[in-house]
Amino acid sequence: MLIHPGSLSDTIDAVNEAIASGLKISATDRKAVARWIASRQGLPGAYADTFAGFESERQRGIRLFTGERVNSASARHILGEEACRALRQLDVPDQDVRHALDRATEGLLQCLARAAADPRNTNIGIFCCGKCTVGLWRHLLAGGLDRQEERLRRGIEHLSSRRDGKGGWRTFPFWYTLLALSEIEAPGARAEIRYASAGLERAAGRSRATRFGRRRQAIAERALARRV
């Protein structure tokens, strides 16, 4: 089941799981879930006119695909970015879906423009905090927003400066960051994967019984395969 009637985050998670697992989603199911996600565009609680979670998600936060929990403004922002990504990957030729995605994209572009106008911000590849920045990268990787290659390259440059010396990064959630790095086609991304290799090798060698554990193991294996 892709649509979870009381949760936008669970619905997006189901879409991400199906895509990551290589499952074929029928045209009927793709259209149904895309239209359901699109119906959340611009509702109260939506970040920058994107897609609104439900009251319970706004109160308790959400879980990322990789298991980390986020809340407050970060949850609202990431949910908007991930909803845009899901709609782009579902790629449903539906006018209502397209209009909702266009409105959400315009809202996010306005946020990025305001951030770029702040003299304290000199890097177009980051936004707000580490968690939100990875959400931005995931949307860019699906073809959203603008200046994709430049934003990703500059973002990875910033990530390198946030290394904590222990195989992770300050303010950037480890697994969510590796999920994005495993898709980014840039030498800088591979360098960050190599930096995190010790933790990835341990994770790849463990037997995982939980949903998030299995996902992390798959991410570790995929990232390690791309580190050279």
**Number of other CB atoms surrounding residue 62 within 10 Å:** 24
Question: For residues 95, 100, 105 and 108, what is the CA-based torsion angle, rounded to 10 degrees?
Answer: 170
Where on the phi/psi map is residue 166: left (φ > 0), alpha (ψ -120 to 50), or beta?
alpha
DSSP 8-state assignment for residue 63: E
Q: What is the pTM of this model?
A: 0.96
- Burial level of 138, CB count in 10 A (0-12/13-18/19+)? buried
Give me the tens of pLDDT residue by residue for the chain, a chain 228 residues long. Answer: 899 999 999 999 999 999 999 999 999 999 999 999 999 999 999 999 999 999 999 999 999 999 999 999 999 999 999 999 999 999 999 999 999 999 999 999 999 999 888 888 889 999 999 999 999 999 999 999 999 999 999 999 999 999 999 999 999 999 999 999 999 998 899 999 999 999 999 988 876 789 999 999 999 999 999 887
Residues 6+ apart with CB under 8 A from 168: 174, 196, 199
| E runs forming strands in the chain | 62-63, 69-70
| Domain ranges (residues) in the chain | 1-121
Q: Tell me the three state secondary structure of residue 163.
A: strand
